[in-house]
Structure 1
Amino acid sequence: MSAPIVIAGAGIGGLSAALAVARAGRRVLLVERAARIEEVGAGLQIAPNAGRILAGLGLEAALAPVALQPQAINVRRGRDGTVLARLDLAGARARYGAPFRVYHRADLQQVLLDAASAHPAIEIRTGARVGDFDDRDGMVRLRVHGEAGVEEITASGLVGADGQRSAVRGHLLPTERDAPFYSGLTAWRALVPAEAASAALRARENNLWLLPGAHVVHYPLRDGAVINVVVIVSTPRQGDGAAILSLDGATLARTMERYRPAPELVALIEAGAAWRHWPLFARPPLKFWSRGAVTLLGDAAHPMVPFLAQGAAQAIEDAEALGRAFLQLGVRIETAFSTYERSRLARAARVVRASRRQGDYFHLGGLGAAGRDLAIRALGGRGMLWRNDWLYR
C-alpha cells in the first residue's frame, strides 16, 4: 500500500483538502494537534466561489440545513446608519453558480469532518502534531508528536494546512523574516442573541457599517437565532489592549465612543455578553509554497485580513486545486504540488492584496470617507456586487 499524503491541520482548509485529495484517489492521513476537532463560536461567510467547490465535493445536502442564505448586503454609514447601497443577493446562484451563505464555523467544520470520517481513504489522528521533517528521495519522513510520544511516519507528501502560525511553514522557511507580524488591526467578536437586537438588525441580511478608523460586520446565524458581530478597529501597536482577552458589551461600547457610532449600532455592541479579542496578523508574501514533496495551503500559505470574507474561501479553492492536480494518472507528488502552486499563487496573492485595500477603503475618514460614500451611492448595489465578479466567478 502506498504511503499516505499527510495533511497537518484539520480546519476548514485541511478537511477540504483531505476530501479533494481522497476523491482524486490518494490515501490521506489528517493530523490535528487538538484532542477534539471543534471550532469555537464564530460566523463564517462562504461566497459562491467556495460554495461551488463544496457542492462539487458532494456536500450540498449536508450543508443546506446548517447554512443561512442572506437576502442582501447593506453597506451603511456607521455614524447614522444610512444605507449607502443594498446588494441584492437573490440572483447569486444564477449568476455565480452558487448562493452566498453564512455558517456558524463549527457547523461547517462538522459537516466536513463527518464527510472526511466516512471516507475510506482518509485517516484522522487527533491530539498529534507534525514536528520536523526530512524531504528526500521523493518521500517525506516526519515526526508526529502525540500523547504516546514521537512517531516517525513515512509519507508520500506533506501539506501544511496548519494555519497562520504554521509549523510546517516554519520548518520549510526557517527564517525570522518570515515570522508573523501584527497588521495594525484588531477585531472583537461576539454572538448576540437575536432577541437582544432591534427588529431592523434581525433581518436575514449582512450589514457592513463604515466608520473612520473602524468598521463593523454582522449577520444572522443558525436560522436567525443568533447574530454574529465583528468589530474591527485600527490599533497601530499590538500592545494596545492586547492584554485584555475579552470585554463585556458595555465596556466595548465605551471604547467605541471615539468613532461616534449610530445609537442602534451601540445597542447591538452592548448586547454582546462577551467579546473575544482577535489581533490580526500577517506574514510576508511567498514567491513559492512548495519544496519537493512539501507544500502549504490556506492561511499557512497566504494569510489575509478578513475584509473580503475570503480566508476560508481561498483555503477551499486551494483544496480543490490540490485535488485536481492529482487527477492525472501516475502524477508524481512533486509535480502535483508544483502544478497546484502554479494554479493558485497569483490568484491568492491578488486576493490578499485586495483584502488589505478593502480594509483601507472601509476605514477612510474626512474627505476620503465622503468621496467613498458618494462612489458607493453612484455604483449602487448591483455595481458593488458586480465589481467582485472576478472573485466570485
Structure 2
Amino acid sequence: MTVPVPDFHVIIIGAGATGLSLAQGLKKVLLLYHDDEAYARRAGQWTMALHSSLPYLDSILPSDLRAKLNSTTTNPWAEPDPTIAAAIPFVNGATGELMAKIPMPSPKRVIRGKLRDLLRTGVEVRFGRRLTDIRVEDDGVIAVFDGEEVRGNVLVGADGVHSVVRGRLVDEDVAALQKPNILVLNAFPSFTREQALFIHGKSHPIVQLAPHPHQKTSIFSNVANVVDPGRPETWVFHYCLSIWTADDAPETAEERRALFKHYMSQYCEPYRSAGEWLSQATPIRAEKFHYWKNITRWRNFGGKVTLAGDAAHPMVPFTAQGLNTALEDVKRFLDAIVKVVYHGADMQTEMDAYDDSAYTRGKRDINLSVEQMHAYHHWEEIMTSPLMKGGYGALINSSPH
C-alpha cells in the first residue's frame, strides 16, 4: 500500500473563484491575497455563467456547500424553467427578431461576490500580502511576501488576468497581454416597479445576446440580482454594451453616459427603454479587455510552480467559457495532487500533464473567444458562426486550435 506524503502543502496565490475552489478541494491549504480593497471592489455586481463546469464544481465542493450553490444565483428565489434556461436567445439588436436559440447545457447564472463568499467558507484567507519573489528549492518552493517567507511543496498562481506568478514563469517578450479593439460600457441599473416588470418580461433568466446589424456593437444583458422577488424596484439589471473601436474610453462620466445612451437608443426594446430610463445615479463603467495572444507553455520548475484560471489563460468573455475553463483546471490539478500524495506518482510527471492540459485548453479558448468577439461585432460573421449553428458545445468542438 502506498503511504500518503506527510505534510504536503500547497500555496495558493489568489482568492477568486479559482483559488477558493482549489482551497475547498484541498481542504488544508495556505491561501494568500494581496489587496483587501481591490478584493472587495472587484466582485462588484458582476455575474458569471456556470454550465459545462458544474460537474467539476459538484465534485470539488463538500455536500453542505453544494446544497447552498443556488443561493449564489441571480434569482435564488426561483429555479428557471430548464428548457428556457438552456436556450440562450440571440436577437437582432435593431428589430428584436429572434435569430436563434443557442444551446447552453444546464446553465446557472451566479453572482461573483456571492459565489466567492460561499467558496470562502472554512478557508483561511490571508489578506494584505504582496508576492515579491518565488524561490524554488530541491524540496519545494518558497513564496516571499514583503520579507515574510512561506514554504510549500507546490505553488499555484490563481491570481487573475494580471498574474504576478505568470510573470515569473514566462519570458518577458511573450508575457505581455493584448488589448483588442473593443470598448465596453457597463451599467447595473434598477428601475421603477412598472419599468422593471416590463424589462423583466423581455429578459432571459441566464443571458440574452443582441448584436446590431447596422453598427459594430453588441449587447449582453441579464437580470443581475433579484434582491426581493416581491419588490421589482429592487431588482438589478446588467447591460454590457461592447463597441468595436480602437478608441479609449471617454474620460468623463457625462461622456460615458452620453455614448451609452446614444447606442442604446438605436436598439430595439427593451434596450431602448432601459437606456432612456437610466437614472443619473447609475454609473456607466468603461473598460478595455485583455487577453494573452501569445500564450506559451510556462516553466513549472520540476512541477513545483503552476498556474490556474485567468492566470493561466486570460481571455475575452465572448464564449461564456472563462469560469468553466478555470474550474476544469481546478479539477485536473486536484486529481494530479491526489495521485502524488496518495498514490506515489511523480510530481513533475503529473504537473507536466496538468500544465499541458491547461495550456492546450487555454490556447483553444483564448483563440475562440477572440474569434467570437470579432464575429459579435461583424454581423455577416456571427450569422455563419458555429455558435449560431450548434451552441456553445459546437463552438468549442469546432476549434482546430
Q: What TM-score, normalized to structure 2?
A: 0.80
Shift of 1:46: 2.7
Shift of 1:20: 2.4
Matched residue, 1:282: 291
**In structure 2, C-alpha distance between the alignment counterparts of 1:289 and 1:229, rounded to whole Å:** 39
Is 2:67 the counterpart of 1:61?
yes
Moved more, 317-326 or 36-45: 36-45
Aligned residues: 358
Q: Is the 8 A contact 1:143 1:152 kept in 2?
A: yes
Shift of 1:202: 4.1
| Secondary structure of 2:120's aligned partner | helix
Q: 2:361 aligns with which of 318, 340, 347?
A: 347
1:318 partner letter: D
| Secondary structure of 2:318's aligned partner | helix
1:47 partner letter: L
Is 2:108 the counterpart of 1:101?
yes
1:300-339, Cα deviation, whole Å (9 max, x unpaired): 1110110011112211111111001111123454333212
Is 2:15 the counterpart of 1:14?
no
Q: Is the 8 A contact 2:169 2:298 kept in 1?
A: no
Q: Is the 8 A contact 2:205 2:222 kept in 1?
A: yes
1:274-299, Cα deviation, whole Å (9 max, x unpaired): 12112101222112363331111111
Matched residue, 1:40: 43
Shift of 1:112: 0.8
Matched residue, 2:52: 49
Q: 2:7 aligns with which of 2, 14, 21?
A: 2
Compared CA separation, residues 218 and 133, structure 1 to 2 (3 A): same
Shift of 1:177: 3.6
2:96 partner letter: G
Q: 1:74 aligns with which of 59, 69, 89?
A: 89
Moved more, 292-301 or 343-352: 343-352
**In structure 1, C-alpha distance between the alignment counterparts of 2:141 and 2:253, rounded to whole Å:** 39
Is 2:200 the counterpart of 1:191?
no
Following superposition of structure 1 onto structure 2, how do residues 348-387 of structure 1 map, counting pairs within 5 Å? 348-365=362-379, 368=380, 372-373=382-383, 375=384, 383-384=390-391, 387=394
| Secondary structure of 1:46's aligned partner | strand
| Secondary structure of 2:179's aligned partner | strand
| Secondary structure of 1:307's aligned partner | coil
Question: Which protein has the bigger strand share?
Answer: 1
Is 2:157 the counterpart of 1:160?
yes
**In structure 2, C-alpha distance between the alignment counterparts of 1:263 and 1:319, rounded to whole Å:** 40
**In structure 1, C-alpha distance between the alignment counterparts of 2:135 and 2:116, rounded to whole Å:** 31
Is 2:104 the counterpart of 1:126?
no
**In structure 2, C-alpha distance between the alignment counterparts of 1:207 and 1:183, rounded to whole Å:** 23
- Percent identity over paired residues: 24
CA RMSD after TM alignment: 2.9
Is 2:322 the counterpart of 1:315?
no
1:94-114, Cα deviation, whole Å (9 max, x unpaired): xxxxx2000111111111111
Matched residue, 1:269: 275
1:80 partner letter: T
2:338 partner letter: L
Shift of 1:218: 0.9
Shift of 1:201: 2.8
1:154-198, Cα deviation, whole Å (9 max, x unpaired): 221111111111111112225144122212212222222264443
Shift of 1:389: 7.1
1:254 partner letter: H
Compared CA separation, residues 155 and 44, structure 1 to 2 (3 A): same
Compared CA separation, residues 246 and 111, structure 1 to 2 (3 A): farther
Structure 2 residue ranges without an equivalent (≥5): 1-5, 230-234
Is 2:310 the counterpart of 1:296?
no
Q: Is the 8 A contact 1:249 1:269 kept in 2?
A: no
**In structure 2, C-alpha distance between the alignment counterparts of 1:348 and 1:8, rounded to whole Å:** 19
Compared CA separation, residues 29 and 334, structure 1 to 2 (3 A): farther
**In structure 1, C-alpha distance between the alignment counterparts of 2:288 and 2:275, rounded to whole Å:** 18
Compared CA separation, residues 179 and 381, structure 1 to 2 (3 A): closer
**In structure 1, C-alpha distance between the alignment counterparts of 2:290 and 2:388, rounded to whole Å:** 31
**In structure 1, C-alpha distance between the alignment counterparts of 2:347 and 2:253, rounded to whole Å:** 42
Shift of 1:217: 0.6
Compared CA separation, residues 62 and 254, structure 1 to 2 (3 A): same
Matched residue, 1:95: none
Q: 1:306 aligns with which of 317, 336, 347?
A: 317
Matched residue, 1:214: 217
Structure 1 residue ranges without an equivalent (≥5): 93-98, 118-122
1:334 partner letter: Q
Shift of 1:247: 6.4
**In structure 1, C-alpha distance between the alignment counterparts of 2:256 and 2:357, rounded to whole Å:** 44
**In structure 2, C-alpha distance between the alignment counterparts of 1:170 and 1:386, rounded to whole Å:** 32
1:98-141, Cα deviation, whole Å (9 max, x unpaired): x2000111111111111x42xxxxx4211112211111213112
1:235-292, Cα deviation, whole Å (9 max, x unpaired): 224xx226457866455212666xx433532322342611211210122211236333
**In structure 2, C-alpha distance between the alignment counterparts of 1:261 and 1:289, rounded to whole Å:** 48
Q: Is the 8 A contact 1:86 1:380 kept in 2?
A: no
Q: Is the 8 A contact 1:247 1:274 kept in 2?
A: no
Q: Is the 8 A contact 2:183 2:249 kept in 1?
A: no
